Chain A
Amino acid sequence: MKLVRSELSLQRASLIGWSLAIAAFVALVVAVYPSVAGDDSLDAIYEGLPPAAQQLLGGSDATSPVGYLNTQLYAFLLPAILLVFAFGRSAGTIAGEEEQRTLDLLLAQPLARWLAYMEKALAIAIGLFLLSVASLIPLFALNSSAGLDISVANLIGQTTQMFLFCLALGMWTMAVSSATGKRGLGLAVVIGYTVASYLIYGLAGTVSWLENIVPATPWRWYAENQPLQNGVGVEECLVLLAAAAVGALVGMWFFNRRDLHA
């Protein structure tokens, strides 16, 4: 676990910065809620949108506590912010170091490559976990004073699914980047997949033939069971966790047996 510690201590300042920024963003969104709660015009805007857009933006209800948090936080913005972190870290951790030519020195140590890979993956998971917790704190703190009164269990369930969703996509970014030594390739492949699957997920309600491929979108496993309303989905969590684990193993397998670029 020495590499995990080294990774986290290198990123300490950045992790603190990200956590504060995310907490501040969530606090702001929550603090605005009381002034939106009774405002029908916001609902009217969302109701006027086509169904696909509603699906993408988190539904047509923007003024109930659950609807507000879905549309303003969880449907897009908050996972997108976490994804920026996950993509950057995952592509940067091995392939990025390789491109900067610092990886040789790190791996000149008596450390098995597969273990280095797993410790680096774990460090990313811990970072994502910290940011997820940071997003929860203002919700807990302002839950009742902002008039949201959402069950703590559901908030945790929603955040858990968001964390696993970002982790799975991060692990596949790391896998493609590390397997090839090309930072940009992992980013391009996984960001492309994430965006395309977001559109498919949104359009599936309108374009019927897309429904068959919805299970292949990570968004379905993140959002469809509406954890904020219905509580955490165990099946959803397991699918996302399995996707993350398979991604990590695939990347590790390739990284363990390829040449490092000079």
Chain B
Amino acid sequence: MGDIAAIKATNLTKSYGRSRGIEDVSLDVHPGEVMGLVGESGAGKSTFLRALLNFIFPTAGSLEVFGRSVVKDPVEVRRRSTYLPGEFVVPARLTGHQTLRRYAFTRKQLSQGRIDDLADRLKLDLSRKVGELSKGNKQKVALVLAFAPKADLIVLDEPTSGLDPILQRTFAGMVKEVTAQGTTVILSSHVMSEVQHIADRVALLRDGKLAAVGKVSELLQDSRRRGSVRPKRAEDVTAVAGQLSDIEQASEIRVDDGEISFACVGAVDPIVKLLAAFDIESLDLAHADLEDAFFSDDALESGEVK
């Protein structure tokens, strides 16, 4: 396989009549990588994932999976991929086993041992009718469907919705296991925290456009964190606020009742050095959070995250 990208989207655009869809998305996913697709609902995550399986046809641009055009060679692409839909619906009267038979009958390398192992780890009873299962248990059936066949690419649309924290950890283990064997995983979520521990890289989608893509740690470095500082002496407040506003890492400085709040982007070091000259009563600096980075409008629009 060498350096062929698992997924290569080039200027991919899908426009619908209304505003939904994706616009000019270019994204490479490497073999064996876990790519997280994050964005609010309607940002285009499902559109991108559904285009991968050729459920929808691109309006412009190209989309390749392991070097094969998704439009020209959809069967080969789907032969190497499995899929977990954003909303898992199967006929309610089918049992878990029947569901697997119905929705994986073309999968050649589907072993019963693998199915039983997955069901066991997820604590799922496949002999029960899907219609009788809770939302979380239905999602487990969907996970078995996506993970049981041997696949080079696993496409997961909101895989962790409906899973409790313990199962999310089981899920993360399953992802780690398949990627260790070289499988590529692309998964979407509207909640960054669900993705940021699993994904090697994340791609942030916003209104159908790719807002940022990179390693979680890199994006965190560029992301903003909220801070506040309270000098011991009231007369220092103005001086600290003034000096903070002079350095580029601090912004949105506000003074309220002897406490100075600010936003920090990038390195903290200059801020800490500046404060060292004063007597400080308290200093709070929030954890760098991608969620914060992602949902702060001006950070994205000014390109600071990108």
Task: Report if A and B associate in a common complex.
Answer: yes
A105 to B81, CA, bound (A): 12
A262 touches B82 (CB 8 A): no
8 A-B residue pairs with CB within 8 Å? A100-B91, A105-B83, A105-B88, A105-B89, A106-B102, A107-B55, A110-B107, A111-B75
Q: Is B56's CB within 8 Å of the partner chain A?
A: yes
Q: Is A206's CB within 8 Å of the partner chain B?
A: no
How far apart are B208's CB and chain A's nearest CB, in angstroms? 14
* Chain B residues within 8 Å of A3, by CB: 105
* Chain A residues within 8 Å of B162, by CB: none
A134 to B130, CA, bound (A): 32
User: How many contacting A-B pairs (Cβ < 8 A)?
Assistant: 70
Instruction: Select one of B46, B83, B89 contacting A108, CB under 8 A.
Output: B83
Instruction: Select one of B46, B74, B145 contacting A105, CB under 8 A.
Output: B145
B104 touches A109 (CB 8 A): yes
* Chain A residues within 8 Å of B106, by CB: 2, 109-111
Nearest B residue (CB) for A112:
B75
Q: What's the dominant secondary structure at chain A's contact region?
A: loop
* Chain B residues within 8 Å of A260, by CB: 50, 55-56
* Chain A residues within 8 Å of B85, by CB: 101, 104-105, 108
Q: Is B128's CB within 8 Å of the partner chain A?
A: no
* Chain B residues within 8 Å of A2, by CB: 105-106
B103 touches A259 (CB 8 A): no
A113 to B77, CA, bound (A): 13
Q: Is A230's CB within 8 Å of the partner chain B?
A: no
* Chain A residues within 8 Å of B78, by CB: 108-111
Contact with A along B39-51 (1 / 0, CB 8 A): 0000000100010
* Chain B residues within 8 Å of A107, by CB: 53, 55
Contact with B along A52-96 (1 / 0, CB 8 A): 000000000000000000000000000000000000000000000
B83 touches A6 (CB 8 A): no
How far apart are B76's CB and chain A's nearest CB, in angstroms? 7
How far apart are A61's CB and chain B's nearest CB, in angstroms? 47
* Chain A residues within 8 Å of B103, by CB: 105-106, 108-109
Nearest A residue (CB) for B14:
A259
B105 touches A6 (CB 8 A): yes
* Chain A residues within 8 Å of B74, by CB: 112-113
B90 touches A102 (CB 8 A): yes
* Chain A residues within 8 Å of B105, by CB: 2-3, 5-6, 109
A5 to B102, CA, bound (A): 10
Docked complex: B97-111 residues within 8 A CB-CB of A: 101-107
Nearest B residue (CB) for A113:
B74
Nearest B residue (CB) for A104:
B85
Q: Give the size of the chain B interface in residues (CB under 8 angstroms).
A: 29
Known A6-B105, A111-B106; judge A262-B50 contact (CB<8 A): yes
Docked complex: B193-229 residues within 8 A CB-CB of A: none
A3 to B106, CA, bound (A): 8
With A258-B57, A260-B50 given, can you name 7 additional A-B contacts, CB distance below 8 Å?
A10-B91, A101-B85, A101-B89, A105-B103, A110-B107, A111-B106, A260-B55
* Chain A residues within 8 Å of B50, by CB: 104, 260, 262
Known A105-B85, A109-B106, A110-B79; judge A6-B101 contact (CB<8 A): yes
A75 to B287, CA, bound (A): 78
* Chain A residues within 8 Å of B53, by CB: 104, 107-108
B82 touches A10 (CB 8 A): no
A258 to B54, CA, bound (A): 10
Contact with B along A228-262 (1 / 0, CB 8 A): 00000000000000000000000000000111101
* Chain B residues within 8 Å of A262, by CB: 46, 50, 55, 86
B83 touches A104 (CB 8 A): yes
B57 touches A257 (CB 8 A): yes
A10 to B90, CA, bound (A): 12
Instruction: Select one of B55, B56, B75, B89 contacting A100, CB under 8 A.
Output: B89
* Chain A residues within 8 Å of B117, by CB: none
Q: Is B248's CB within 8 Å of the partner chain A?
A: no
A101 to B56, CA, bound (A): 15
B56 touches A109 (CB 8 A): no
7 tightest A-B CB contacts, nearest first: A110-B79, A108-B83, A259-B56, A101-B89, A109-B106, A260-B55, A110-B78
Q: Is B120's CB within 8 Å of the partner chain A?
A: no
A107 to B145, CA, bound (A): 13
* Chain B residues within 8 Å of A102, by CB: 89-91
B82 touches A108 (CB 8 A): yes
A2 to B110, CA, bound (A): 15
Known A2-B105, A6-B105; judge A110-B76 contact (CB<8 A): yes
How far apart are B216's CB and chain A's nearest CB, in angstroms? 28
Known A6-B105, A111-B106; judge A104-B55 contact (CB<8 A): yes
A6 to B94, CA, bound (A): 12
Known A102-B89, A104-B83, A105-B85; judge A259-B57 contact (CB<8 A): yes
Instruction: Select one of B76, B82, B87 contacting A101, CB under 8 A.
Output: B87
